[in-house]
Amino acid sequence: MWTSFKKSMNRLSPVQIIIGYYFLAVSVSTLLLSLPIATKPGIRWTFIDALFTAVSAVSVTGLTVINVVDTFSTPGIFIFMFVLQFGGIGVMTLGTFLWIIMGKRIGLKERQLIMADQNQTQLSGLVKLMIQLIKIIVIIELIGAIVLGLYFLNYFSDWNQAFLHGLFLSVSATTNAGFDITGQSMIPYKDDYFIQFITILLLILGAIGFPVLIEMKEFLSNRARVYKFRFSLFSKITSVTFFGFIIGGALFIYLLEMNEFLKGKPWHESFFYSLFMSSNTRSAGLTTMNVSDFSEPTQLLMSFMMFIGASPSSTGGGIRTTTFAIMILFLWNFAKGSRSIKVFEREICDEDIYKATAVMLMGVILCIVSIFIMTITEDFPLTQIIFEVCSAFGTVGMSFGITPDLSTVGKIIDMTLMFIGRVGIVSFLFIIGRREKTDNYHYPKERIIIG
Amino acid sequence: MWTSFKKSMNRLSPVQIIIGYYFLAVSVSTLLLSLPIATKPGIRWTFIDALFTAVSAVSVTGLTVINVVDTFSTPGIFIFMFVLQFGGIGVMTLGTFLWIIMGKRIGLKERQLIMADQNQTQLSGLVKLMIQLIKIIVIIELIGAIVLGLYFLNYFSDWNQAFLHGLFLSVSATTNAGFDITGQSMIPYKDDYFIQFITILLLILGAIGFPVLIEMKEFLSNRARVYKFRFSLFSKITSVTFFGFIIGGALFIYLLEMNEFLKGKPWHESFFYSLFMSSNTRSAGLTTMNVSDFSEPTQLLMSFMMFIGASPSSTGGGIRTTTFAIMILFLWNFAKGSRSIKVFEREICDEDIYKATAVMLMGVILCIVSIFIMTITEDFPLTQIIFEVCSAFGTVGMSFGITPDLSTVGKIIDMTLMFIGRVGIVSFLFIIGRREKTDNYHYPKERIIIG
Ligand SMILES: [K+]
Ligand SMILES: [K+]
């Protein structure tokens, strides 16, 4: 069975599988969301809006041209939450899965990233792993839903309403989709630190990356120290970068806004505004205030943070934490005149440096070109366009609220960015590049002057 | 003599020599421009303004907080032109010179970049080469001055005035300094295509890079085909990119503005506006119109073009043409799944790909951080700040005219960018990085997930 599976993997490349899955998920979602039962009576939407909503949902971005609560019926909301799983869990597990296979394919002999199953490179092991991943996310979502549902009884007298809100917020936060059924994101809970705290917890679990979750699980189940457990280099790098961005981002937002938006607010309000908004630039995109109330430097800082995005193999997008970390380490080492990047007592492979370079470069080009085109087609200030583009690429979904008013070109750019942000640039590069046979000819090398 | 020179080169690194030269040139220039004889009666300027002018002149940027013609006396203008040579020729020849030495130092066995002198790696050969380089530029400047001076008799009845304007424009264009003594750049000559054509010719000769000039000279003196001449890979890459940007830029400016600024203008006017403005984003920074009259997309396009800048070892700045070319080729090859970059029947060294990556990355970080800080300290629209930052980094010197109104922080950022843009990021990285011994220990390599 493994052999025949491997054969079909060779015919369909892993990247083609991810892309195929994504397009299938978007098509099915567009259909599902267009079902008459999904929408409230009297709602008619255009194809581009239904498509946009499906793309935004499958890419768990949360940019939206409609108001979820005014558009969808209660069954529609359940369908919608189901669709979020396509993107949130689907692309994520598929990504992790394929990463392992590709790791195998390139003949990687080093310790495998995920140690959960010694037989993981066998198909049965991989399927087991995927089921485990899906289980973890669903359990997180359910626990979140119960805690939030119970707590929402403070807001809603109706148990159904309370638990619907609890479930939706939990799913929206864990999948980092960032959609809301309040009609105004998390602004109604801007003074409720408990809800904010739970939301931050859930979105971190979704955006920190699956391998980290699995390793955490193994670490905790090995508390008796049956064997020596070591976190993978990947988990260490991505976690440090991830939390570095949350904490550093919160600090910067506070410093930039303490005499602006946060002026005169008590410390706990300032603290939660900064922390919540910073955490949500990782990928979730929920907000407790209007980003337009922040000053321009903060909006640009948040754009930059959204561009970086979340961990690979997570529910997030952007160029990803590891790409950013490797590039900074590379630059640091280059300035020191050192050749090899040493971090956490390991060395980074040249292969991964090349990959990170390509991802960073492509990400920058993609966003700059998108911003450039939007300045031609859209009539919004540059800062808002930059924010919108970074938000789509990072599958974050924060916005100045300009999304519904974008031209069709603008909406197509948004959708393209959400797609690329979600499947990741490495996969995207493999789509646009024509595969060539390995070259077996060489020219003489010649040095040139750089910079 | 060569041995003792080599010894002193080992004590002072090439980069330290360039930086030392730059600071010396700025100090001397600040002093010279502060001489009472240099300024018109009644002019008193602050230290920061004198320093800013010196930095802008030595880095041949042309951003200015003063009006040259209102500030300097006629002797002052001659001193000023002399200062431009410090930066234009000084940094350039020193750069070329050191590149050859560094090439030697890293044990480069390949065909030397510049074939003019077989003994070039001997001190006498190098000195000969530098003198040759200086000669070439001075001859270009003089021919330009004579042609323009004679032509300016159409504008000025006074021979002194005509030749002063001719000499200044020739020096300003050839060194790509972009300063003017008209008080409003090239706007007075916006309908004079002859002046614009000569100016474009001169600025190209200054910004195309010294090695290209030397090779051109050799190529022309070898027309009898005494031996088989081959242009270096460097010359080919930089020339193609350089002219690609000029032509592509002109085309884009035309397309973006044909229904805006160029609307209703005859084809020859449109042609020259597009071509002149595009050519000047390479490095010279002279303008035949106010950039504020262009639409926002064009302003952003020009910012991008200025960020790229001119050839290495030229009078220009930015990340340089070769960096951009290598990055695009790298991305293209990565997408194709190919390992080695083949271009013009040669292959690019890994070393140079690493360098280009570092330069690109550092350039992006530098400009983003500068823009970010300026949005905090300055009260100008984002587009104007982006334009100003890219203009300083590319040592281009075009501006919305906001330079004199920048805060001191803004002026310091401008000066820093002009400095880094001029000496080049590779040199800059070597300043900020602490040199370490080659590491002779290694950790195991471990793969991580990227993008
Ligand atoms: K999101
Ligand atoms: K200039």
Which residues are CB-neighbours of B67 under 8 A, at least 6 positions away? B183
pLDDT tens per residue across span A394-439: 999 999 989 989 999 999 999 999 989 988 887 777 766 655 555 6
Phi, psi (deg, nearest 5) at residue A213: -60, -45
Number of domains into which chain A is organized: 1
Surrounding ion ligand 1 within 5 Å at CB are A 61-62, 176, 178, 285, 397
Q: Residue A318 CA: which ligand is closest? A: 1
pLDDT, average across residues B40-59? 86
Q: If we measure between CA atoms, which residue out of A301, A270, A314 comes closest to residue A137?
A: A314
Portion of chain A with pLDDT greater than 70, in percent: 84
pLDDT, average across residues A23-42? 88
Q: Does a structural domain hold residue B427? A: yes
In sequence order, what DSSP letters do the residues of A50-67 get, joined into one string? HHHHHHHHHTT----SS-
- Write the residue in B103, B331, B347 that is nearest to A362 by C-beta: B331
Q: Does a structural domain hold residue B6? A: no
Q: Which of A216-220, A223-227, B47-51 has the highest mean pLDDT?
A: B47-51
State residue B228's pLDDT score: 72
Rounded Cα gap, residues B238 and B115, in angstroms: 18
- Write the residue in A337, A348, A371 that is nearest to B433 by C-beta: A337
Token pair of B175 as six digits: 């060194």
Q: Residue B57 CA: which ligand is closest? A: 2
By C-alpha distance, the chain B residue nearest A209 is: B449
Which residues are CB-neighbours of A160 under 8 A, at least 6 positions away? none
Q: Does a structural domain hold residue B387? A: yes
- Higher pLDDT: B267 or B118? It is B267
∠ CA(A372), CA(A376), CA(A382), 5° rounding? 60
pLDDT value at B413 more than 90: yes
H/E segment holding residue A373: helix A350-377
In sequence order, what DSSP letters do the residues of A251-306 get, joined into one string? HHHHHHHTTTTTTT--HHHHHHHHHHHHHHHHTT---SS-GGGS-HHHHHHHHHHH
For residue B346, what are the β-bridge partners?
A: B343
pLDDT band at B11 (very low <50, low <70, confident <90, very high): low
pLDDT, average across residues B165-187? 90
Q: Does a structural domain hold residue B55? A: yes
Alpha helices in A59-185 (DSSP H): 68-71, 74-85, 92-105, 123-151, 159-174
pLDDT, average across residues A170-175? 92
Rounded Cα gap, residues A52 and A135, in angstroms: 29
CB contact under 8 A, B110 and A447: yes
H/E segment holding residue B92: helix B92-105
Reduced to 3 states (helix: H, G, I; strand: E, B; else coil), residue A346 is strand
pLDDT tens per residue across span B194-221: 999 999 999 999 899 888 888 888 788 7
Cβ within 8 Å of B, A 75-114: 99, 103, 108, 110-111, 113
pLDDT band at B391 (very low <50, low <70, confident <90, very high): very high
Token pair of A343 as six digits: 């971090």
State residue A40's pLDDT score: 87
pLDDT, average across residues B15-34? 84
pLDDT band at B5 (very low <50, low <70, confident <90, very high): low
State residue B298's pLDDT score: 95
pLDDT band at A3 (very low <50, low <70, confident <90, very high): low
Portion of chain B with pLDDT greater than 90, in percent: 41
CB contact under 8 A, B99 and A446: no
pLDDT value at B335 more than 90: no
The answer to whether the Cα torsion of A296, A297, A300, A301 is positive or negative is negative
pLDDT value at A111 more than 50: no
pLDDT, average across residues B125-150? 85
CB contact under 8 A, B99 and A342: no
Q: Distance of alpha carbon A186 from its chain centroid, rounded? A: 19
- Higher pLDDT: A172 or B433? It is A172
Rounded Cα gap, residues A426 and B450, in angstroms: 8
For residue B342, what are the β-bridge partners?
A: B347
State residue B239's pLDDT score: 92
pLDDT band at B110 (very low <50, low <70, confident <90, very high): very low
pLDDT band at A108 (very low <50, low <70, confident <90, very high): very low
- Higher pLDDT: B95 or A113? It is B95
Q: Residue A185 CA: which ligand is closest? A: 1
pLDDT tens per residue across span B60-77: 898 888 888 888 988 889
Cβ within 8 Å of B, A 309-328: 312-313, 319-320, 322-323, 326-327
Phi, psi (deg, nearest 5) at residue A180: -140, 155
Q: Which of A257-266, B22-31, B382-391, B432-441 has the highest mean pLDDT?
A: B382-391
State residue A224's pLDDT score: 66
Range with lowest mean pLDDT among A112-121, B320-329, B344-353: A112-121
pLDDT, average across residues B150-168? 91
| Residues of chain B neighbouring A445 (CB-CB closer than 8 A) | 110, 346-349
In angstroms and rounded to an integer, the radius of gyration of the C-alpha atoms of chain B is 22
Range with lowest mean pLDDT among A386-395, A420-429, B425-434: B425-434
pLDDT band at B168 (very low <50, low <70, confident <90, very high): very high
Which residues are CB-neighbours of B265 under 8 A, at least 6 positions away? B273
Rounded Cα gap, residues B451 and B449, in angstroms: 7
- Higher pLDDT: B312 or B407? It is B407
pLDDT tens per residue across span A39-59: 888 877 788 888 999 999 988
Single-letter amino acid, residue B368: I
State residue B116's pLDDT score: 32
pLDDT value at B8 more than 70: no
Cβ within 8 Å of A, B 206-265: 209, 211, 232-234, 237-238, 256
CB contact under 8 A, A445 and B347: yes
By C-alpha distance, the chain A residue nearest B363 is: A451
CB of A388 within 8 A of CB of A29?
no
State residue A167's pLDDT score: 93
pLDDT value at A128 more than 80: no
State residue B117's pLDDT score: 33
State residue B244's pLDDT score: 95
pLDDT band at A362 (very low <50, low <70, confident <90, very high): very high
Q: Is A432 on the interface with B (CB under 8 A)?
A: yes
Residue A209 DSSP label: -
Q: Is B376 on the interface with A (CB under 8 A)?
A: yes
pLDDT, average across residues A113-132? 53
Which residues are CB-neighbours of B326 under 8 A, at least 6 positions away? A448, A450, B237, B341, B348, B352, B353, B356
Tally A–B CB contacts below 8 A: 251
- Write the residue in B301, B337, B356 that is nearest to A450 by C-beta: B356
Rounded to the nearest angstrom, the minimum Cα separation between B376 and chain A is: 6
CA distances from A359 to A50, A96, A318 (A): 30, 18, 10
Q: Is A439 on the interface with B (CB under 8 A)?
A: yes
Q: Does a structural domain hold residue B254? A: yes
- Higher pLDDT: A310 or B97? It is A310
- Write the residue in B327, B435, B450 that is nearest to A361 by C-beta: B327
Q: What is the mean pLDDT of chain B?
A: 83
H/E segment holding residue A343: strand A342-343
State residue A136's pLDDT score: 87
pLDDT value at A95 more than 80: no
Q: Is A362 on the interface with B (CB under 8 A)?
A: yes
Query: How many other C-beta atoms can be found within 10 angstroms of the C-beta atom of residue A194?
Result: 12
pLDDT band at B276 (very low <50, low <70, confident <90, very high): very high
CB contact under 8 A, B110 and A444: yes
State residue A121's pLDDT score: 46
Q: Residue B58 CA: which ligand is closest? A: 2
In sequence order, what DSSP letters do the residues of B166-220 get, joined into one string? HHHHHHHHHTT----SSSSTTGGGTT-HHHHHHHHHHHHHHHS-HHHHHHHHHHH
Token pair of A389 as six digits: 């583009």
Q: Is B434 on the interface with A (CB under 8 A)?
A: yes
Reduced to 3 states (helix: H, G, I; strand: E, B; else coil), residue A146 is helix
CB contact under 8 A, B361 and A326: no
CA of A22 to the centre of ligand 1 (A): 16
CA of B388 to the centre of ligand 2 (A): 12
Q: Does a structural domain hold residue A449? A: no
State residue B150's pLDDT score: 93
pLDDT value at B123 more than 70: no
Cβ within 8 Å of A, B 267-306: 296-297, 300-301, 304
pLDDT, average across residues B100-109? 44
Cβ within 8 Å of A, B 154-193: none
pLDDT value at A440 more than 70: no
Q: Does a structural domain hold residue A345? A: yes
pLDDT band at B108 (very low <50, low <70, confident <90, very high): very low
- Write the residue in A233, A297, A355 that is nearest to B376 by C-beta: A297
By C-alpha distance, the chain B residue nearest A328 is: B361
Q: Does a structural domain hold residue A123? A: yes
- Higher pLDDT: B80 or B21? It is B80
pLDDT tens per residue across span A183-208: 888 899 988 999 999 999 999 998 99
Which residues are CB-neighbours of B17 under 8 A, at least 6 positions away? B9, B94, B98
Q: Is A330 on the interface with B (CB under 8 A)?
A: yes
Q: What is the mean pLDDT of chain A?
A: 83
| Residues of chain A neighbouring B424 (CB-CB closer than 8 A) | 451
| Residues of chain B neighbouring A256 (CB-CB closer than 8 A) | 376
Q: Which domain holds residue B196?
A: 13-222+231-431
State residue B392's pLDDT score: 94
Rounded Cα gap, residues A94 and A227, in angstroms: 29
| Residues of chain B neighbouring A357 (CB-CB closer than 8 A) | 330, 357
- Higher pLDDT: A14 or A77? It is A77
| Residues of chain B neighbouring A97 (CB-CB closer than 8 A) | none
